[in-house]
Amino acid sequence: MLNTKSFLAIDFGAGSLKLAEFEVNEAGGLRLKQYGLKSLGAEGAQETTREAAILKALQEMLAEKGIKAKSVNVCAPGFHVFSKFVKLPPVDSSKVTQIIQYEAQPLPSPPKAILIADNPDTAGDFNADIAALDSILSPKFSDNLIRASDITDPILLRSVLTNAWNQGVDLVTYAGHGAIDRLGSAGYLTIDQATNLQNALRWPVVVATTCVAGQFSVPGNDCLGEYLVRQPSSGAIAVFAPTGLSWDAEASLLNHRLAVFLRSNTFPTLGDCLRQAAADHVRLDAPNMPVWIYNLLGDPALRFNVPRDLWMGKPAPLNGQMLLTWVGGKPPYQVLTTSPLQPLSDWTPVGSPTTATNLLVPIPPSLTFFRVKGS
């Protein structure tokens, strides 16, 4: 190939396409003639659109540079070329038992949340962060706000937090500084406390949009998140936390988007909530910090055990009729209908109240709207 007049080197990167044209000089070495770089954008990160994004970028760069070389060296990301097999360690049987017990617990009414704020400083207004979370969660959750600016003694704050945790709580979320072994520089919750929690009655989902509290990959140094989820009968049922450094201005936005989904709880699993919150954060907030630094320590198939908001599914035809389905809410349910839909439409009951979560109705001859109300 080096006997040819010139050749290309193309790097199909994960986020950009890089191209360089070389020629062989008189001494047998390489001379760089020209180069270019073009971002693949959001389309380059999606499997379904990546090929088209690469082809478009390559065609544009070849045209812009006027490249005539016919020989090419290609470099592609390893994860697009090689299959990697990972052997996952077995889940401890006590953790499986804990997950089964968690999902079998009666739904709390109301669910409880602890919202913890570090002292505000140049890194972020953590009090404002949890105030915004409180406004999102409080229509459903009974929120306990613990602020370092109100409880200035770290030892007292640690005691208040531990006591509230031990009483049983469904969601714990933290805004502030953190380290691999703690929440807060002063240690509002440390790995030592995590091993001494006594909340056997109820285990929370923990959301820690701080720094490195989920860094599980340091040999010989388990992170706070690991300590919380590995307790056999206390601690947390799952922890969502970063493996690296985060930036509060963006981390708080991710936390708020996740809180919306945790409050409604209309997704089937905790993993679905986290995935959608991360996707919305990337799409709507355009963060600079990569969202993949956040990891779930726990079972993504876990059902978040708080009441679900009432949510109606898409009607489906069944045996010449239409099947209406819904999830969440509290029975008995009443299906209502109206046509046409207007601001002051009268909604007419369809049948009697029911404890079921589906109803078969005749297919209406014209455009008709349905809704369902819980008790």
Q: Which residues of 252-291 are buried (b: 16+ CB within 10 A; e: fewer)?
A: bbbbbbbbebbbbbebeebbebbeebbebbbeeeebebeb
Q: Which H/E stretch holds residue 356? A: none
C-alpha closest to that of 170 among 204, 207, 206: 204
SS3 312: strand
Output the pLDDT for position 87: 60
Residues of the chain with pLDDT under 70: 1-4, 42, 45-47, 77-91
Yes or no: say if 220 and 228 are a contact pair by the CB < 8 Å rule: no
Q: Looking at residue 176, what is its pLDDT?
A: 96
pLDDT at 2: 46
**pTM more than 0.85:** no
**pLDDT of 311:** 80
The pLDDT value recorded for residue 37 is 87
pLDDT, residue 1, reads 43
Bin 262: left if φ > 0, else alpha if -120 < ψ < 50, else beta: alpha
